[in-house]
Structure 1
Amino acid sequence: MAQGYRQGADTGLDLDAWRRVVDGFHEAVVVLDPEGVVRLVNPLAAVLIPEARPGSTLPEAVDHGRHQDLGGGWSAWYRGVDHYLDEAARRLSALTERADTLRAVVELAPAKHSVVVLPGVRGRLEWWRRTPAGDVAVARTTRQVAGTVAGFTDVLDRLVEHAELTDLGEGPWGTSGTGLAVPLTEGGALVCFDGTWNVDLLKRFAARAAAAMEASDRFVQQERTVDALRTNLLPATLPDVPGVRLARVYEPAHRRVLIGGDFYDVHPREDGSAAFVLGDVAGNGLEAAVHSGRVRQSLHTLLVVEQRPAHLLHLLNSALRAAGSRLFTTLVVGTMMPVQAGGLRLTLAAGGHPAPLVLRSDGRVDEVAVHGGIVGVLAEVRFHQTTVTLAPGETLLLYSDGLTEARKHGDREQLFGDVRLKAALAQCVGLPAEAVAQHVRQVAFEWLGETEHDDLTLLVLQAES
């Protein structure tokens, strides 16, 4: 190739000689002058390095392949087909939304103009293509429009491996001329115009594009499944209960799916009382969330026939064991009833769960001594219940062990612990329920910093003053 360089000539390279050589290359070739301006682009480079245009400079942030010094300040970039396909596959694999993936297929396809045709809803076709403004848009037509393009339905139906489309019929191609069509996904095709006309290249690109599209479709289906499950697994909005202010904090370990093993519920009754629960299933993520949903549903059903907290836990333990429960569950259940003179009377029972805390009006923090074994594991397990009275303005705090076991940022050996929790709660004298919940949350997350945490849940019950 160095023979194309004319020693001592003011023009540097003999570009005509170079063009005759590199036009037949199976690599994309771009030649730059000493000023970094593109002077030569072979046909494959026009497709594989579309940002390389004669008279322009190459963006530094773009990977153009292999670089070579040609002498005299001139240089060349070479990009092989495999390099281009690997880069396209990498960029496509990072996308999860169907529309984003299709836009990227149109933009990355090895042609100056490309169209993706796919089956749509109700037997229609979608035509994804570039607009004159340079962005990607979609048009929708009936399936019959494809039949106006000679040979195109054979590609859509995979009767042929490729076809030249010379008569474009009524399709919304957004361009004119001759297109080369290859199958894409089931019932779909990739059509390229003004490209390299290398059928093997188009097929290999289409295979990678099809894999990315199928992956994004699977991801969308998984997201829809998770959303459907999440609708039933997310804790319900706190209801209005006479004489009570309610607040909560719900911070799952997996924030992206917004569900975990912690749960809470409040069930008002017609007599003005209400049942409440806060629990924690071993583990976190989707499996724990599904089990917590099972526990919540079981409790909701059992509350129809039993309202005494300790007896309710006995029934729940039997129900979970009969259902083949394999995950440990700890929880506090209780009932609350407004007192005529003011305040609340609470009856509570617990199964293996951290003791609830009561914030008194003088700033004292009391533990509620209520004990019981883990639920859903052993046939013989004991539960005890106790009664607590809240004066107007006093607060009961239920919480999961994700709070007390939160690890300090910068020192994972230190846990938040009971002492810090009681101190944080004691600072909340006179605050309404929502402010109590947010203060405890703030103190906990200042302790955590940016470190990971387990599911972390609080439920605040406050007697109206």
Structure 2
Amino acid sequence: MARAGMMLADTVPAWLSYAHTACRMPAAGPRPVVEGSVGDRSYEAHPTVREDGTVVWWLVDDTDHRLAREALRIERERTAFLGQASNLLLSSLNLQRCMDVTAQMAAQHLADAALVISPVRGRDLPIVSCLRGGMPESSRVTAHAEDVPGLAEALQGFPPVPSRWLDPATAPAWLVPEDFGTVGSVVITPLPGHGVPAGALILLRRAGGTGFTEAEEVFARLFAARAGAAMSAARLYAEQASISETLMRDLLPPFLHRVSGVEYAGGYRASQDHERIGGDFYDVHPAAVEGDASLVVLGDVCGKGLEAAVMTGKIRNTLHALLPMADDHQRMLNLLNTALLSSHNARFATMILASAARQESQVKLRLTSAGHSAPLIVRADGRVEEASTRGTLVGALPEVTAVTALATLEPGDACVLFTDGITEARGGPMGGALFGEERLQRVLADCAGMPAQAMVERVQMLASEWVGTGPHDDMAIVVISAPRTNHLSAVDGHTRGRFTA
């Protein structure tokens, strides 16, 4: 208790004694307000200099204001952190990246180390761990989630247990990152997903530091909710992508090559650059018996995009089932037409059936059009002929009528099947001209004698240049060629060469 005659420094807090000494010195202008604390309370000290030179200090308790300002600052920092976390987590639909970001941000802002654990599949726990200031590391640990109190429940989506219920000494070795030291406190909280748990978040602080407060645990759950939503979305996207890839695998155009002495090549471009499938399709079905004809199918389903692609899948599967009667094009088309009409699907299709068989050096063709552009025969000398086949489309009328044409390919000749996405492509210098069949024939004439794959690539390149960045339909092309029976190939640059078949 202060008594008269006592030194000021022995009576008031040091901050006020220092301010009083400075206030008694001559100065121009009003004396500044100073701040300090007494015990657990904080004060503003306002000086008033009297005429006799003495200073009177008025102390205002501003503890509540200080606590409110501090709470507002913390809330702003946490809001900014949650906003940053949401931006980083939602910027990617990659599950591994979401786990890495979650662990790194949690270690940087919430704890000394953080672990993200994916839902359990068997005894392997997929883990991403990160130390403050470090980089996330992925691992798989063979352990039981039940070994860590609260972890099994968090992985199942149950509410977290308070950190004060968890004994840090019971944390197994696999839970503590290398070089972390002794664990002082632990928080385990679920990562809630969309209907199913996305995993669990574990926060660690070292012994000797401050433990987790109740407010910090609540904030950790807010962060975990955002991280869990992002991880759940990434996992759902990965699963859907895997399913789509599996379903799409049978819808993608096949890679063509030489079959039974006949050379095949094909090319496809969907109407949208971001799509891989559409309404155009082609297939080559090798003959079941050596010497018989292989069946080539190229078609165009009404429409484009995924719905048209689903229809192409149905047609391709139906034609595959009809392969035992591949020597009778008319019968195949009739049965396919019946199948499409019975499916009550409003879509129809045009197509070309081509049976190709190697006979000595020649390739014998039977070509049947069902409402499709007739194939073009490209002779080795540059002449281009149109096959004399025609017919009605499938899936629209009760009956299909078609005329089958016969053609023979000599060595170096080729037969080109194409969809109208190529001939009806609009572009050119003015942007609105059709590529047209006449231009296609000129291009093919220039490709005479080229290998089948080179012809496909040449047509695709010119058609793509023609449309540029403008809209276009699906484009598909198949080339059937009779390989040259003999050609001269150099051996090592010094010999006279040799003939190969």
Q: Which residue of the other structure, out of 276, 298, 303, is the alignment partner of 2:296?
A: 276
Equivalent-residue separation in structure 1 for 2:405 and 2:152 (angstroms): 75
Q: Which residue of the other structure, out of 225, 231, 234, is the alignment partner of 2:243?
A: 225
Q: Deviations over 1:227-265 (max 9, x none)?
A: 211222223332533442211112233555532222111
Q: Which residue of the other structure, out of 323, 328, 344, is the alignment partner of 1:308?
A: 328
Equivalent-residue separation in structure 2 for 1:325 and 1:189 (angstroms): 47
Who is 1:111 aligned against? 110
> SS of 1:378's equivalent?
coil
> SS of 1:320's equivalent?
helix
How far is 1:275 from its partner? Answer: 1.4
Who is 2:96 aligned against? 99
Q: Deviations over 1:422-465 (max 9, x none)?
A: 12111112212121111111211222334454322110011223
Letter in 1 for 2:85: A
Who is 2:87 aligned against? 90
1:459 aligns with 2:478: yes
Letter in 2 for 1:446: E
How far is 1:130 from its partner? Answer: 1.0
How far is 1:396 from its partner? Answer: 0.9
Who is 1:32 aligned against? none
Who is 2:234 aligned against? 216
Equivalent-residue separation in structure 2 for 1:22 and 1:344 (angstroms): 91
Q: Deviations over 1:301-350 (max 9, x none)?
A: 2120342223321221112222333322111002123345x422211111
1:137 aligns with 2:137: yes
1:180 aligns with 2:162: no
Equivalent-residue separation in structure 2 for 1:302 and 1:15 (angstroms): 92
Equivalent-residue separation in structure 1 for 2:127 and 2:358 (angstroms): 64
Q: Which residue of the other structure, out of 431, 453, 460, is the alignment partner of 1:434?
A: 453
Equivalent-residue separation in structure 2 for 1:371 and 1:172 (angstroms): 73
Contact in 1 for aligned 2:130/2:137 (Cα 8 Å): yes
Contact in 2 for aligned 1:262/1:457 (Cα 8 Å): yes
Name stretches of at least 5 consecutive residues in structure 1 with no aligned partner.
1-7, 9-13, 29-43, 46-78
Give the paired residue count: 402
Contact in 1 for aligned 2:271/2:475 (Cα 8 Å): yes
How far is 1:150 from its partner? Answer: 4.3
Equivalent-residue separation in structure 1 for 2:373 and 2:434 (angstroms): 15
Who is 2:162 aligned against? 163
Give the direction of change, closer, same or farther, for the CA distance of 1:401–1:90 in structure 2 (3 Å limit): farther
What percent identity do the matched residue pairs reach? 33
How far is 1:411 from its partner? Answer: 5.1
Give the direction of change, closer, same or farther, for the CA distance of 1:27–1:347 in structure 2 (3 Å limit): farther
In the superposition, the TM-score normalised over structure 2's length comes to 0.72
Contact in 2 for aligned 1:128/1:136 (Cα 8 Å): yes
How far is 1:158 from its partner? Answer: 4.8
Give the direction of change, closer, same or farther, for the CA distance of 1:182–1:412 in structure 2 (3 Å limit): farther
Who is 2:347 aligned against? 327
> SS of 2:422's equivalent?
helix
Who is 1:58 aligned against? none
How far is 1:398 from its partner? Answer: 0.6
Give the direction of change, closer, same or farther, for the CA distance of 1:381–1:90 in structure 2 (3 Å limit): same
Contact in 1 for aligned 2:333/2:400 (Cα 8 Å): no
Give the direction of change, closer, same or farther, for the CA distance of 1:153–1:246 in structure 2 (3 Å limit): closer
Equivalent-residue separation in structure 1 for 2:366 and 2:69 (angstroms): 86
How far is 1:157 from its partner? Answer: 4.6
Name stretches of at least 5 consecutive residues in structure 2 with no aligned partner.
1-27, 29-33, 38-62, 206-211, 485-501
Q: Which residue of the other structure, out of 248, 255, 258, is the alignment partner of 1:237?
A: 255
> SS of 2:250's equivalent?
helix
Who is 2:52 aligned against? none
Q: Which residue of the other structure, out of 202, 205, 209, is the alignment partner of 1:191?
A: 202
Equivalent-residue separation in structure 2 for 1:280 and 1:294 (angstroms): 13
Letter in 1 for 2:357: M
Letter in 2 for 1:111: L
Letter in 2 for 1:237: F
Contact in 1 for aligned 2:377/2:416 (Cα 8 Å): yes
Equivalent-residue separation in structure 2 for 1:347 and 1:213 (angstroms): 56
How far is 1:355 from its partner? Answer: 2.1
In the superposition, the TM-score normalised over structure 1's length comes to 0.77
Who is 2:127 aligned against? 127
Q: Which residue of the other structure, out of 400, 415, 419, is the alignment partner of 1:396?
A: 415
Who is 2:48 aligned against? none
How far is 1:122 from its partner? Answer: 0.8
Q: Deviations over 1:105-153 (max 9, x none)?
A: 1123342432222323214433321158822123333553x44444544
Superposed CA RMSD in Å reads 3.1
Letter in 2 for 1:210: G
Contact in 1 for aligned 2:104/2:131 (Cα 8 Å): no
Who is 1:360 aligned against? 379
Contact in 1 for aligned 2:266/2:476 (Cα 8 Å): yes
Who is 1:25 aligned against? 70
Contact in 2 for aligned 1:163/1:182 (Cα 8 Å): no
Q: Deviations over 1:261-285 (max 9, x none)?
A: 2211122222242211111122333
Who is 1:37 aligned against? none
> SS of 1:25's equivalent?
helix
Who is 2:487 aligned against? none
Q: Which residue of the other structure, out of 354, 357, 368, is the alignment partner of 1:337?
A: 357
Letter in 2 for 1:129: S
Letter in 2 for 1:86: G
**Structure 1 range deviating more: 436-445 or 88-97:** 88-97
Contact in 2 for aligned 1:184/1:210 (Cα 8 Å): yes
